Structure 1
């Protein structure tokens, strides 16, 4: 394995209204050993309290993906998009030449949990864009975001892919990186690979042209990123 990131070693933020675990350096958390993998710059495991959220703020030249696991997000942006993003939906916003947006918990009674993911684009200054979709699982590994939006996926401005891996307990699967660097982040459940056990919040990267045989040791959901070998 190229890189292992344990859940317990992540940066922890608690602002009361926001509780977050940062896989990579972000905001007030900085560790030069954990700056991202290839074009993948941010994976924040966020929980936002009822009625709270991120007020209007700006971004540019970043592909920002939200993957909601519990509750719902309320999104508004300067391009006129106003949406509710429920659990199970995937949201992709291309900040491009510049966009202002806000993300709030859509509920006043229940927290929302979601992954905030940033991927550095390969095209700068593009027109901002927004997509949101519920993509049903189709086999163990289902693409969610791809460079071209193929086969009903969302599209992003980078030669990268984000897929959802779902396995039942004791089910095996071979992860292959092909010509890419690849990174697996466990959303829930656990797996075993090469005698090592990885559980919720754990992650690892593998080199190009590497294959790993994994086995779920509990019902598993994970995000699988295929990333440019050079960035």
Structure 2
């Protein structure tokens, strides 16, 4: 088993007034050669966007882009004809494929929106661009791993990669097991809220731990915690 710890305080950070963003991996103005990716996981941005502000129309290609609102609402529009709102409890994915253009704005004129934007390198290049979005209740994740992104599970949004995103809301003083879905994959645990221990390392809010060359990972939960597990191929 191999592992790497990424402290929340060591993430890249930019604040443009309308956007307050923390980067787990090199992105935009933030560059760290030690943090270019974790296997096929290329970007994990923790974005807070001010009311009515956002990202104007811009292009992407050959990237799997997942958005997970933590609080608030995000308005989305893209060149596939999609025009809608992503709310807390939703998970959205765009397969940029051969090329897509989209915009994202805070749907509220009064409250901030906080969402995770995650990029995964694709399995096949230049596919037809596609969009998918699903909604989940809190019970999906209550003391069990709920799969929200997968290439094969019908309850999840489909991804063009052998990657799996799962979330859990765990009670305190419990032990969790995460079993990997694919040989050769690793898993990047992002602690949204709470306090846990993974293989002897303590994680607190927004800390992360990547684990690979292991079929199963044990997690000891201290206080009630919300965890996102991003499982991806390690060989590109």
Q: Which TM-score band applies after superposition, normalised by the shorter structure?
A: over 0.9
Work out the number of aligned pairs and report it.
230
- 127-136 vs 9-18, which moves further: 127-136
CA distance in 2, matches of 1:46, 1:176: 29
Offset at residue 209 of structure 1 (A)? 2.3
Task: Name the counterpart of 2:161.
Answer: 158
1:145 to 128, 143, 149: 149
Secondary structure at 2:154 match in 1: helix
* 1:220 has 2:221 as partner: no
* 1:126 has 2:127 as partner: yes
Instruction: Map 1:42-61; keep pairs closer than 5 Å.
Output: 42-61=43-62
CA distance in 1, matches of 2:54, 2:171: 34
* 1:207 has 2:212 as partner: yes
Offset at residue 199 of structure 1 (A)? 0.8
Secondary structure at 1:152 match in 2: coil
Instruction: Find runs of 4+ consecutive structure 1 residues off by over 3 angstroms.
Output: none
Task: Name the counterpart of 1:105.
Answer: 106
Task: Name the counterpart of 2:170.
Answer: 167
Task: Name the counterpart of 1:69.
Answer: 70
Offset at residue 211 of structure 1 (A)? 3.2
Asked whether the equivalents of residues 40 and 234 of structure 2 are also in contact (C-alpha less than 8 Å), the reply is: no
CA distance in 2, matches of 1:127, 1:101: 15
Offset at residue 190 of structure 1 (A)? 1.2
Task: Name the counterpart of 2:17.
Answer: 16
Task: Name the counterpart of 2:192.
Answer: 187
Offset at residue 90 of structure 1 (A)? 0.3
Secondary structure at 1:38 match in 2: coil
Offset at residue 210 of structure 1 (A)? 4.5
Asked whether the equivalents of residues 71 and 88 of structure 2 are also in contact (C-alpha less than 8 Å), the reply is: yes
In the alignment, structure 2 segments of 5+ residues that lack a partner are none
Secondary structure at 2:77 match in 1: strand
CA RMSD of aligned residues (A): 1.3
* Length-normalised TM-score, structure 2: 0.93
Offset at residue 200 of structure 1 (A)? 1.1
Offset at residue 228 of structure 1 (A)? 1.1
Task: Name the counterpart of 1:32.
Answer: 33
CA distance in 2, matches of 1:226, 1:67: 16
- 20-29 vs 191-200, which moves further: 191-200
When residues 194 and 123 of structure 1 are mapped into structure 2, their CA distance, relative to the original with a 3 A threshold, is closer
In the alignment, structure 1 segments of 5+ residues that lack a partner are none
